[in-house]
Structure 1
Amino acid sequence: MLASSSSSTAPDHSRFVDGTAVTTLAFDRSGDLAAYAAAAIAESIQSHNQAGKQTVLGLVTGSTPTGTYRELIRLHREQKLDFSNVKIYLLGEYIGLNPESPQSHLTSIRHYLTDHVNIPAENVLVPDTTVSVDRIESVCNAYEQAIQDDGGLDIVVCGIGRNGHVVFNEPFSIRNSHTRMCTLDPVTRRAAASDFFGEEYVPTHAVTAGLETILNARKILCLALGEHKAGLVREAFEGGITDRVPASFLQEHPNLELLLDQPAAGMLTGIATPWLLGNMSWDEPMIKRAVLWLSEVAGKALLKLDDNDFRVNDLHQLLRHYGPAERLAHRVFRMMMDTIDYHPAGRDDQVCLCFSPHPDDDVISMGGTLIRLVEDGHQTHVAYMTSGNIAVFDHDALRVADLVTEYNRLFNIDLDRSAEVEKQVRRGLDSKQPGQPDCEEIQRIKGLIRWSEARAAAVKAGCQEENLHFLDLPFYRTGTVTKNPVGEDDVQIIYDLLLKVKPHVVFVAGDLADPHGTHRVCAEAIFLALGRLKEKNQPVPEVLLYRGAWQEYALHEIEIAVPLSPDDLELKRKAIFMHESQKDEALFPGSDPREFWQRAEDRNRGTADAYNQCGLPEYYALEAFTRWNGEPI
């Protein structure tokens, strides 16, 4: 039975989504989602505190719930939310990992929550996975019993893994399972590879709370963020219950709330094709979306659609109120034609600023547009927001240290100091344990590698060296994959650059599905700095959003499409090739086996093909952008 939301009111900046098997809320901003989830947890804690009862939470770690945990910290600090009678059971942990390891779930929950609230240390529990394998079963049984002795879990906060898992309940887990040891799926290990600086260092086993344990909780908050979760969300909550997708078992829970940001909700029927669920109100964006969808499912160019295509694909209402088909098709055809723009910053001289979260995002994501901006005579700046030093292989750092030592020997330059640095690098690499961060010297060398590659790539695209800015934002300087939240120093650095450059047009990575999370954090900092410009009555530039290497905008979302010629794409490829440390095999490639240049070209040519299939002009490749609506993410 489909969940009904007609009797409820969605919180501000969110909407109920029809068509799913559970109560589903889609939020405009991830911050609103975090605030809603934290408020639900806080309400339970406060009601239990007033009744003199303990609140028992089952929590997970990872990037998805961190916003919720930060909001709980804020509620504790500003509204005196009392955690003294809260007990937390971590629902998973890696086998054999030291509890103090930066990758352990215990370390993570301390960093993101418990070290910042007044919860007793003894009330934060995790299975002891450091015992011998023959004792793991007894540890699991004792952990399960402890949960039962505490009356079960009041609230579970969980997410959805890339293979549909919940906690570490991998595909084909048993519905009535309890806390146990499990073998990690290759997809899960690959997703965790960046945390451990390589898939080979990810443990092969973990302890997980079972599906039965989770489903016995009195309330479940299931969170999902980003486009990369959209397909799984649809499969788990619009499809049937299946052990192939363990998250689908959550449909059985009577008090489950599925909380999504808009990208994660993007493939649900109620978001993607709401006209299939019944009558609806039509506006310009929805008409565009529906007619483009019809062109795809009918396999016809826009101007070839007829009335019957609308009728057989459940678009009777649209045809009746806005038809005939010819009128609707021409309307959307003109909308799409208006997106094609050879000169995205106009023809008059402008100052353009591309913010690149990592040192290669500029040329990978909008290298063709950079080429076009330079050709159009615009003063084109690039701001590299982070060093990207964690994404360099150890052997590359050692090679550079060795090269510099030999370079100095050849030219008789400070031989003793360069030899000492090389020794420090070798000692640091030899003593580093799998998954541990680098020492400062190695981090600096890896940052230098990314700096030199970024400069060479931008120059290859036509940019001037004096227009390249390396910001090295403080939030990134942790030496590990886990980054700090955006701080005042980050925003001020960006604000100062905006005042210095005075751009007319700013390009920002709007790819919120970035597996590293850095794109999302950088966008947040940029938007805060732009807001400060507005507050201080400074000119605010036009803001165009591009996508990173992971995803492309859907056709109906694209507002500007920049045509690229074969020569443009060839030059873009050469610019990407300047990032030698990321070529052939990147340290954090994600789940896509293609190299970054291949992803970029396939995406750009795929966008052009999609335009062509709609009956629009046939281009070799297209880079796509949307306009920022002025709202924070």
Structure 2
Amino acid sequence: MSIRPPAEAYEKVPTVIFPDSAKAAKTLAQEVKQLIETKNKAGKPAVLGMATGSTPVPFYRELIRLHKEEGLSFKNVITFNLDEYYGLSSDHPESYSMFMAEQLFDHIDIPKANINLPSGTVPGDQVFNHCRQYEEKIEASGGIDLQILGIGRTGHIGFNEPGSSRDSLTRRITLDRVTRQDAASDFRGEQNVPHFAITMGVGTILRAKKLVLMAWGENKAVMVAKAVEGPMTEVISASFLQDHPDARFFIDHGASRELTRVKLPWLVGPASWTPRETRRAMVWQAFKIKRPILKLVDEHYNENGLSDLLSEQGPAYQLNIRIFNQLQHTITGWPGGKPDEDDTYRPERARPYPKRCLVFSPEPQDAITGMGGTIDRLVEQGHDVRLIALTSGSLRVPDSEADKFAETLLELASNATNPTTWEPQVAYAREALGLLEAKGEFGEDPPLLRQLKGLILRGELRDAAHTVGLANDRVTFVDLPFYENGRYRRFKSTEEDHKVLVRLLQEHKPHQIYITGDAADPSSVAGICFRLLVAALQSCGGEDFAGSCSVWLYRGKERPLEPHEIDMAIPMSPLQIERKANALSRYGALSSLEKEAPETNRENARLYDALGLAEYEAIETFQRWRRV
């Protein structure tokens, strides 16, 4: 039995933290390459269990690269997929059969006869036999040599939702509400997401010889920690990987943040008491014992494993005051800096004033969701604020919105005093309605419909932006090619995307930039946009503006920043939080997390209040991007 390093003492499954998903994907792909080559030498096929969703996409791209550039052959590989939506045919654009073809199978030399997926169209009275035959086929192949897994927001592997037993087999299952919410963007609305799926069972998965679970981004961090460090439970099917002799987690920094060795490193070994780590420990301690920072005493430090911090930076009262002041200095009503004031302890510099501020919104709702109140404050304080919608967001607009728009056009035309002047609009509306009917509930949107849905969101964003003080001419729509030419979970950035952002930066020469996506899944719209902007800033490194431009990270759909992570906190009055809620109401389709943004802002204020800081109605939070 191997001995775990002390830092990993809380972890019940070996967990490897990679700098990013690309490095993890390369490492895993090399393991697959070695497995295939070893099996070939033994005259046996390599049997791989495959996963779907955005998580394995970097891994599949690396397998394709190995095939095309290094000659790795998949002719002697057999694959079994974890699951499939029940009710979708194999040629449905959101079926996992289609996903695997587009993401991997169509780009390598694997024989079609060697590809196995559950059927989404097997008649209901034949589902049991179909699932049993799937199990038998896995067994007849010699069993799965390496099973690839992701983890859902409910902690599921495959579609083994909460309540799935340790010994469950391949079966039809009802999808959890959270799982369906997470798939809503793929299906253009939660109402279109299938209610059922066929999935390998937990017991089926655990029979694989080796298991590797991948997870990227901070939204997966809580479930990763529960699966790795918590008890084995049917509530989190991924936790059963603790019961496997050769299971591992491959995660990035974002997905690791709730592990004890990352979140509370002083509990597992000597800590390096950097300013950020010190603040993290102090905030954690204050929340744990429910006392404000300034009321912590020596006994609290000793009882919570922080005696080293106290001996190194104490006494307690001076340490409390220092951290309290650091937190206090994050609070400012001047996100663009307060002109003609000493900015020594302010988050943002006073000069220049006014500043040119670029607010980047990966999808049209992100910036209003994450920092609508701060936009309002920047405009009110006289800064040159421009909101840049990087993508059209057309993929998130449900068909019902396009149908409503087309029907409204027809209604207006029918009531016009001179109907002939409306003939082009009538033709456009009828074409849109015809395309909606022709493509059906789940079909691909042709270009006209994507354009129409993008125009609908443009109108909603302009309306929302106006509500927080931005005029129409201060809103720019970029329509980055990676989005316009792609689909969720299938995006791939291009050189043209990079050039567009470089031109934007060179044109506006901003003093301030606001962006989200640093904590997002790297294959998500926000994650791709963030990496593109970072690359564009690096390309502009020689420009005069680049060195002095401050970059602030806000959170949209991702986990909110915790108090120790916050570098700038913008208080919001009751009127401002009301304006932000009104701005969000302008959007026809928001996720549950986006709708909750005002309440998240109120919770930020409650956390600051609990630490002993001033009590506000709500707070929007930001983290300074630190160039590496």
TM-score scaled by length of structure 2: 0.91
| Structure 1 residue 41, shift from structure 2 partner | 2.3
Cα 1:379–1:187 change in 2 (3 A) is closer
Correspondence for 2:30 among 35, 39, 43: 39
CA distance 1:528–1:30, change in 2 (3 Å): same
Structure-2 residue corresponding to 1:437:
444
Q: Root-mean-square deviation (CA), in Å?
A: 2.5
1:17-56 alignment, distance < 5 Å: 17-56=8-47
For 1:10, the equivalent position in structure 2 comes to none
Compared with structure 1, are the counterparts of its residues 268 and 179 closer, same or farther at alpha carbon in structure 2 (3 Å cutoff)? same
Distance 1:185 1:32, change over 3 A: same
Residue matched to 1:615: 612
Q: Which runs of 5+ in 1 are unaligned?
A: 7-15
The CA distance in 1 between the partners of 2:81 and 2:574, in whole Å, is 53
Confirm or deny: 8 A CA contact 2:211 2:246 kept in the other structure. Answer: yes
1:601 aligned partner: 598
Instruction: Indicate the residue corresponding to 2:625 in structure 1.
Output: 628
Distance 1:571 1:169, change over 3 A: closer
Q: In 2, Cα distance between the equivalents of 1:111 and 1:496?
A: 32
Query: How many Å apart are 1:59 and its aligned residue?
Result: 0.6
Aligned to 2:551, what secondary structure does the other structure show?
A: strand
CA distance in 1, matches of 2:23, 2:262: 18
Map of 2:354 onto structure 1: 349
The corresponding residue for 2:147 is 156
Partner secondary structure for residue 196 of structure 1:
coil
Contact 1:359/1:384 (8 A) holds in 2: yes
Cα deviation for residue 50 of structure 1 reads 4.6
**Closer/same/farther in 2, CA of residues 36 and 628 from structure 1, 3 Å limit:** farther
Shift in alpha-carbon separation, 1:482–1:247, aligned structure 2, 3 A: closer
Compared CA separation, residues 479 and 524, structure 1 to 2 (3 A):
closer
Change (3 A) 1:187 1:400: closer
Equivalent position to 2:226, from 222, 235, 241: 235
Map of 1:11 onto structure 2: none
Q: Secondary structure at the match of 1:562?
A: strand
Matched, 1:401 2:409: no
Could you tell me how far apart the structure 1 residues matched to 2:318 and 2:33 are? 52
Task: Provide, for residues 311-345 of structure 1, a one-character-per-residue CA deviation record: whole Å limited to 9, x for no partner.
Answer: 12222222222222112212211221221233233
Match of 2:383 in 1: 378
1:200-258: CA deviation from partner (whole Å, max 9, x where unpaired)? 43333322222222212221111122333222222222122122222111101121111
After superposition, give the CA deviation of every residue in 1:46-89 in whole Å (9 maximum; x if it has no partner): 33345444221101100111121122222333333332322211
Letter matched to residue 169 of structure 1? N
Shift of 1:5: 4.0
Partner in structure 1 of residue 204 of structure 2: 213
1:503 equivalent in alignment to 2:513: no
| Contact map agreement 1:438 1:479 (CA 8 A) in 2 | no
Q: Tell me the SS of whatever aligns to 1:280.
A: coil
Residues 608 and 622, structure 1, Cα contact 8 Å, conserved in 2 = yes
1:97 positional shift: 1.7
Question: Does the 8 Å CA contact 1:486/1:524 hold for their aligned counterparts?
Answer: no
Displacement of 1:550 after TM fit?
A: 4.5
Q: Confirm or deny: 8 A CA contact 1:607 1:621 kept in the other structure.
A: yes
Assess if the C-alpha contact under 8 Å between 1:129 and 1:207 holds in 2.
yes
- Say yes or no: does 1:61 pair with 2:52: yes
2:169·2:201 contact (CA, 8 Å) conserved in 1?
Answer: yes
5+ residue gaps, structure 2, are 340-352
SS at match of 2:186: helix
Instruction: State the alpha-carbon separation in 1 of the partners of residues 573 and 177 from structure 2.
Output: 39
The alpha-carbon deviation at position 190 of structure 1 amounts to: 3.4
Of 430-439 and 112-121, more deviation after overlay is shown by 430-439
> Aligned residue for 1:486?
493
- SS of the equivalent of 2:443 reads coil
> Does 2:272 align with 1:265?
no
Q: Determine the C-alpha separation between the residues in 1 that align with 2:30 and 2:336.
A: 43
Q: Please state how far the C-alpha of 1:615 moved relative to its aligned partner.
A: 1.4
Matched, 1:303 2:294: yes
Cα displacement (A) at 1:553: 0.2
List per-residue Cα deviations over 1:599-624 (Å, max 9, x = no partner): 22212222122112111223332211
Partner residue in 2 for 1:358: 363
Residue 177 in 1 paired to residue 185 in 2?
no
Aligned length: 611
CA distance in 2, matches of 1:373, 1:80: 55
Q: In structure 2, the residue corresponding to 1:97 is in which secondary structure?
A: coil
Residue 9 of structure 1: aligned partner: none
Of residues 529, 545, 553 in structure 2, which corresponds to 1:545?
553
TM-score (norm 1): 0.90
| More moved, 289-298 vs 385-394 | 385-394
Q: Is the 8 A contact 1:563 1:619 kept in 2?
A: yes
Q: Which of the numbers 454, 467, 483 marks the counterpart of 1:460?
A: 467
CA-CA distance at 1:571 after TM superposition: 3.1
Q: Using the TM superposition, give the Cα deviation of residue 556 of structure 1 relative to its aligned residue in structure 2, in angstroms.
A: 0.8
Are 1:508 and 1:545, in contact at CA under 8 Å, matched by a contact in 2?
yes
Say whether 1:253 aligns with 2:253.
no
CA contact (8 A) 2:52 2:99 kept: yes
Please tell me whether the aligned partners of residues 17 and 26 of structure 1 are also in contact (alpha carbons under 8 angstroms): no
Write out per-residue CA displacement over residues 426-475 of structure 1, whole angstroms, 9 at most, x where no aligned residue. 22233332222333333222211111121222233223433321011122
Q: 1 CA distance for matches of 2:451 and 2:602?
A: 37
Alpha-carbon displacement from aligned partner over 1:67-120 (angstroms, at most 9, x marks no partner): 211222223333333323222111211223210111111111111112122222
Alignment pair present for 1:141 and 2:132: yes
Answer yes or no: is 1:522 the counterpart of 2:513: no
**Structure 1 contact 2–20 (Cα < 8 Å) conserved:** no
- Deviation track 1:413-435 (CA, whole Å, cap 9, x = no partner) reads 64322222221222223333222
Task: Give the equivalent residue in structure 1 for 2:4.
Answer: 4
Partner AA of 1:381 in structure 2: R
C-alpha spacing 1:135/1:51, structure 2 compared with 1 (3 Å): same
Confirm whether residue 337 of structure 1 aligns to residue 328 of structure 2.
yes
Most deviating of 116-125 and 39-48: 39-48
Question: 1:515, CA displacement in angstroms?
Answer: 11
Letter of the 1:623 counterpart? E
Q: 2:348 is matched with which residue?
A: none
* 1:276 equivalent among 267, 272, 276: 267
Partner Cα separation in structure 2 for residue 537 and residue 378 of structure 1: 20
**1: CA distance, partners of 2:118 / 2:557:** 37
Could you say which residue in structure 2 is the equivalent of 1:389?
394
> Distance in 2 between the 1:164 and 1:445 partners?
37
SS in 1 for 2:234: coil
1:423 counterpart = 2:430: yes
Structure 1 residues 498 and 515: alpha-carbon distance in aligned structure 2, compared to 1, 3 A threshold: closer
User: What are the superposed Cα offsets for residues 6-57 of structure 1, whole Å, 9 maximum, x if unpaired?
Assistant: 7xxxxxxxxx754210111223323333333333323323333454442211
> Is 2:563 aligned against 1:572?
no
Are the structure 2 counterparts of residues 275 and 448 from structure 1 closer, same or farther at C-alpha, using a change threshold of 3 Å?
A: same
Deviates more, 1:48-57 or 1:544-553: 48-57
Mapped contact 1:386–1:470 kept (Cα < 8 A): yes
Q: Which residue of 2 aligns with 1:472?
A: 479
Of 500-509 and 423-432, more deviation after overlay is shown by 423-432
Aligned: 1:557 with 2:572: no
1:111 aligns with 2:102: yes
Structure 1 residue matching 2:442: 3-state secondary structure: coil
Change over 3 Å in CA distance of 1:3–1:504 after alignment to 2 = farther
Q: Pick closer, same or farther for the CA change 1:515–1:490 going to 2, 3 Å.
A: closer
1:126 matches 2:117: yes
Gap change, CA 1:114 and 1:413, over 3 Å in 2:
same
CA distance in 2, matches of 1:304, 1:413: 76
Judged with a 3 Å threshold, the aligned counterparts in structure 2 of structure 1 residues 293 and 82 are, in CA distance, closer, same or farther, namely: same
Q: Tell me, in whole angstroms, the C-alpha distance in 2 between the residues paired with 1:56 and 1:456.
A: 53
Amino acid at match of 1:31: A
